[in-house]
């Protein structure tokens, strides 16, 4: 048997905080409040948003209306691609706190490396300082390739706690995952449900074997692979369904079968901007 998972399952970040393993993604959902409320009612402990999504206020409203204590929910948001400077990034942290209606952020990520090395490092320094000021508990990056991660390490700066990347059976980003494992950086998986593009017998037939749907199988695969998946859905019913992943265990043989779908970067189904300079 592999590890027993539940809504309360966490992974310890290199900064000392505990990250809930299963999260709700709200990518470009401008009406995410119903999904967030359904998730919080079901037992989700992590909601992932971003300044780019334009829904931080709804996430904050859902958290307050849910009645769940603030300290029990992990909130992640992200610095916009056009906010890569020390001053702008620092201001963005304050703006997100105001929009969400929170006194602190559990995690702030740099959404992507889409600028240049000096700007990325200045933005990272802003997050480091925001953490020191108590505005953010953990800081990280998203869509960072090894070379972008190495920029931070070689500059002698605090390493990210998290790297959130596209990650599913067709796009396993093994070089990035290996670097993160070496330096104790937790890997969050976005698009773990492959945006519904799961018409492969390794997925559909294996899901039937466990009396699960493909989404549930993919999320369980992500958890057993050691990732923290963000299951995106705007449909409250699917939000609930996606969470029924704690009552079965994928065998080693079936994990290997699913692993065999990997096509590296060619398997990406999102923007996956890991190769920018």
Q: Considering 53, 74, 144, 190, which one is annotated as catalytic?
A: 53
Q: CA-to-CA distance for 138 and 110, rounded, in angstroms?
A: 12
Residue 111, marked binder: yes
Distance of CA 226 to the CA centre of its chain: 13
* H, E, C per residue of the chain: CCCCCCCCCEEECCCCCEEECCEEECCCCCCCHHHHHHHHHHCCCEEECCHHHCCHHHHHHHHHHHCCCHHHCEEEEEECCCCCCHHHHHHHHHHHHHHHCCCCEEEEEECCCCCCHHHHHHHHHHHHHHHHCCCEEEEEEECCCHHHHHHHHHCCCCCCCEEEEECECCECCHHHHHHHHHCCCEEEEECCCHHHCCCCHHHHHHHHHCCCCHHHHHHHHHHHCCCEEEEECCCHHHHHHHCCCCCCCCCHHHHHHHHCCCCHHHHCCCCCCCCCC
- Angle CA(70)–CA(240)–CA(22) in degrees, nearest 5? 55
Active site residue 190: no
In this structure, what are the phi and psi dihedrals at residue 185, rounded to the nearest 5 degrees? -105, 125
Annotated binding site: 111
Active site residues per annotation: 53
Annotated binding site for substrate: 111
């Amino acid at each position: 048997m592999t590890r027993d998972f539940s809504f309360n399952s966490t992974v310890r970040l290199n900064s000392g905080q505990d990250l809930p393993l299963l999260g709700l993604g709200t990518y470009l959902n401008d009406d995410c409040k119903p999904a967030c409320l359904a998730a919080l009612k079901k037992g989700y402990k992590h909601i992932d948003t971003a300044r780019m999504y334009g829904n931080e206020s709804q996430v904050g409203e859902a958290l307050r209306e849910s009645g769940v204590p603030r300290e029990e929910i992990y909130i992640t948001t992200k610095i916009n691609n056009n906010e890569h400077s020390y001053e702008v990034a620092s201001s963005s942290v304050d703006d997100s706190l105001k929009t969400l209606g929170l006194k602190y952020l559990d995690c702030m990520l740099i959404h992507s490396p889409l600028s240049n090395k000096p700007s990325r490092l200045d933005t990272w320094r802003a997050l480091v300082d925001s953490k020191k000021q108590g505005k953010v508990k953990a800081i990280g990056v998203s869509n960072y390739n090894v070379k972008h991660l190495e920029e931070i390490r070689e500059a002698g700066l605090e390493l990210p706690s998290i790297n959130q990347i596209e990650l599913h059976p067709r796009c396993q980003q093994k070089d990035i995952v290996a670097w993160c494992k070496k330096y104790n950086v937790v890997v969050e998986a976005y698009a773990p449900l492959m945006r519904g593009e799961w018409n492969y017998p390794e997925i559909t037939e294996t899901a039937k074997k466990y009396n699960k749907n493909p989404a549930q199988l993919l999320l369980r695969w992500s958890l057993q692979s050691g990732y923290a998946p963000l299951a995106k859905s705007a449909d409250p019913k699917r939000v609930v369904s996606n969470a029924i992943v704690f009552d079965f265990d994928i065998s080693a043989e079936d994990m290997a079968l699913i692993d065999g779908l990997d096509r590296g970067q060619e398997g990406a189904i999102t923007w996956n901007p890991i190769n920018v300079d």
